[in-house]
């Protein structure tokens, strides 16, 4: 099946009186057989005016114009799919209803409506076009909401012009799986990932572009200093866009509703085979601090930052823990990993509770370089859960670079700053931590679930004897200095 998905959110379908609550549209097609395709549109509606929206969308029949080059080939009037229309898709905790079930609720809710139509494309062409010019039928026009804060002009209408080159075969443009994000948080680092997937394995290049008005076919002016390439007001130096996967990292410094537009271009064996477009609104909310976790209790290497670790390529198997917490202990947290390096394992105990314990384990026997993975933290706070993505980095070093970066304060001739013996230990554990100058070091012992067992202070460049009074098993000793932290895995013998 061939699927082209084009989507945009925070878009208000305004009939001539501009009274509607449409929040998003996906437009696409899939290859059915030979030269037959199904064009599909999904509409996401705000439940705040549920009765009128339901009536309007139940009778809508969006028009899609299909061109072969500049010649109009066909105009489709899509029909509603009753099997997948009108259902609520709001992501909320169960304790507070949305406006989809209670119009007096302060919580905005959303419903989904789907439309489709089949069409034959009997010829091959380098320039098939699928054009949507805001026409939803019955004089309903899809116009952008006036409260989108990054556009300087209100009252503009949505325009898509996507292309397909089927001389290279039927094409499946990337499906962007992220449709309706809960909302992002003010003054903290955020990540927006469109989660694109291309079933054909084509080369995909993402870019951020200016939105186009269907009336004038020209680009819409943005509020200063924003633009299509920089559509979200962010703290200085925090906005970053990755053209390989469309991921946007940013720290918003203003409450806003920002429309972003993706232009997704595909290449097959070096030949351009088409582009698709997504417009989507990112709604920046004033949130309380979301749940997230820092790297803790590593069995090897040292932490460069809260979410970065450096290890040597000769380290062997190692692990570390991430233990997200909320100030409000009545809130539960669910952690989901993605993009783990090959051979790595990630396990979570007590996931979906107020104290999940996460463990990342891997082997250092990999090619030196920078590796990473993402964690998604979702809590169950009411009325709206907070959904946060965080990226974690592992720097695998080798040779002198490993010694210099891994042990920045080590005395000359010492290969490891943190030394312990005997290991396994029974009654006593001798500990020392070397540095260029004598300084205070804070030692802490953790079990393999990341629970702190004990903590004590000492000085560097001096031996310290710790009386072992722990059950048989494995533990992690962490030494924290002003210059960094070091970790050792040790065993308590029976």
307 Cβ contact list (under 8 Å, min separation 6): 294, 295, 390, 391, 392, 393
Give 249-285 pLDDT, tens digit per residue. 999 999 998 999 999 999 999 999 988 888 887 888 8
* Calpha distance 382→92 (Å, rounded): 7
Rounded to two decimals, the pTM is: 0.60
Q: Which residue has the higher pLDDT, 56 or 22?
A: 56
* CA–CA distances in Å: residue 197 to residues 132, 152, 204: 23, 33, 9
Q: Which residue has the higher pLDDT, 127 or 98?
A: 127
pLDDT band at 481 (very low <50, low <70, confident <90, very high): confident
Domains of the chain: 4-285 (no CATH), 295-401 (2.60.40.60), 407-492 (2.60.40.3080)
Assess whether pLDDT exceeds 60 at residue 6.
no
- Least confident range of 160-169, 368-377, 473-482: 473-482
What pLDDT was estimated at residue 37? 85
Assess whether pLDDT exceeds 80 at residue 289.
no
Assess whether pLDDT exceeds 90 at residue 219.
yes
Terminal C-alpha separation, the chain:
61
Q: Are 63 and 72 in contact (CB under 8 A)?
A: no
Q: Summarize the confidence of residues 206-231 as an average pLDDT.
A: 96
Give 32-62 pLDDT, tens digit per residue. 888 888 888 888 777 765 456 667 788 889 9
Cβ burial of 402 (10 Å; 0-12, 13-18, 19+) is buried
Which span out of 211-225, 378-392, 398-412 was modeled with the highest average pLDDT?
211-225
What pLDDT was estimated at residue 232? 97
Look up tokens 């006036």; give the residue: 146
152 Cβ contact list (under 8 Å, min separation 6): 220, 221, 222, 223, 224
Give 54-109 pLDDT, tens digit per residue. 677 888 899 999 999 999 999 999 999 998 888 887 766 666 788 888 888 777 77
pLDDT band at 312 (very low <50, low <70, confident <90, very high): confident
What pLDDT was estimated at residue 126? 94
* Calpha distance 59→38 (Å, rounded): 20
Q: Are 101 and 144 in contact (CB under 8 A)?
A: no
**Could you tell me what percent of the chain has a pLDDT over 90?**
31
Tell me the two tokens of residue 350.
Answer: 């007590």
Q: Tell me if residue 372 falls in helix, strand or coil.
A: strand
Going by the DSSP 8-state scheme, the letter that residue 340 receives in this structure is: P
């Amino acid at each position: 099946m061939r699927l082209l998905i084009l989507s945009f959110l925070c878009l208000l379908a305004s009939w001539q009186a501009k009274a509607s609550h449409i929040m998003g549209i996906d437009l696409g097609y899939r290859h059915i057989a030979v030269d037959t395709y199904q064009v599909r549109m999904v509409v996401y509606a705000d439940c705040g005016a549920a009765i009128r929206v339901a009536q309007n969308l139940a009778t809508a029949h969006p028009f899609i114009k299909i061109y072969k080059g500049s010649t109009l080939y066909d105009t489709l009037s899509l029909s509603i799919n009753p099997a997948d229309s009108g259902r609520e898709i709001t992501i909320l905790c169960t304790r507070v209803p949305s406006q989809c079930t209670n119009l007096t609720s302060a919580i905005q809710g959303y419903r989904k409506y789907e439309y489709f139509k089949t069409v034959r494309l009997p010829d091959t062409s380098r320039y098939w076009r699928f054009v949507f010019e805001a026409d939803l039928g019955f004089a309903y026009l899809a116009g952008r909401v006036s409260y989108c804060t990054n556009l300087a002009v209100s009252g503009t209408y949505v325009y898509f012009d996507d292309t397909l080159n089927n001389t290279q075969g039927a094409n499946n443009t990337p499906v962007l799986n992220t449709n309706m994000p809960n909302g992002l948080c003010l003054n903290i680092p955020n990540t927006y990932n469109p989660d694109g997937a291309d079933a054909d394995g084509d080369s995909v290049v993402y870019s951020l572009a200016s939105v186009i008005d269907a009336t004038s076919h020209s680009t819409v002016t943005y509020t200063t200093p924003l633009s299509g390439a920089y559509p979200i007001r962010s703290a200085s130096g925090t906005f970053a866009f990755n053209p390989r996967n469309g991921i946007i990292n940013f720290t918003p410094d203003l409450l806003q509703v920002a429309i972003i537009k993706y232009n997704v271009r595909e290449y097959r064996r070096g030949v351009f085979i088409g582009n698709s477009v997504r417009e989507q609104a990112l709604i920046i909310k004033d949130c309380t601090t979301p749940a997230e976790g820092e790297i803790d209790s590593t069995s090897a290497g040292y932490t460069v930052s809260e979410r970065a670790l450096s290890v040597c390529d000769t380290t062997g198997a190692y692990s570390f823990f991430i233990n997200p917490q909320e100030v409000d202990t009545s809130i539960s947290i669910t952690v989901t990993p993605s993009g783990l390096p090959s051979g790595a394992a990630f396990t979570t105990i007590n996931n979906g509770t107020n104290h999940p314990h996460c463990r990342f384990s891997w082997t250092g026997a990999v090619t030196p370089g920078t590796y990473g993975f993402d964690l998604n933290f979702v809590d169950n706070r009411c009325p709206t859960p907070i959904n946060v993505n965080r990226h974690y980095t592992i720097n695998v070093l080798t040779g002198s670079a490993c010694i210099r970066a891994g042990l920045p304060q080590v005395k000359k001739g010492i290969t490891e700053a943190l030394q312990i013996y005997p290991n396994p230990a029974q009654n006593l554990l001798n500990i020392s931590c070397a540095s260029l100058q004598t300084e205070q070091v804070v030692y802490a012992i953790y079990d393999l679930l990341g629970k702190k067992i004990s903590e004590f202070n000492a000085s560097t460049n001096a031996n310290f004897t710790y009386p072992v009074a722990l059950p048989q098993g494995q533990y992690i000793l962490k030494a924290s200095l002003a210059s960094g932290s070091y970790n050792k895995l040790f065993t308590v013998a029976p």
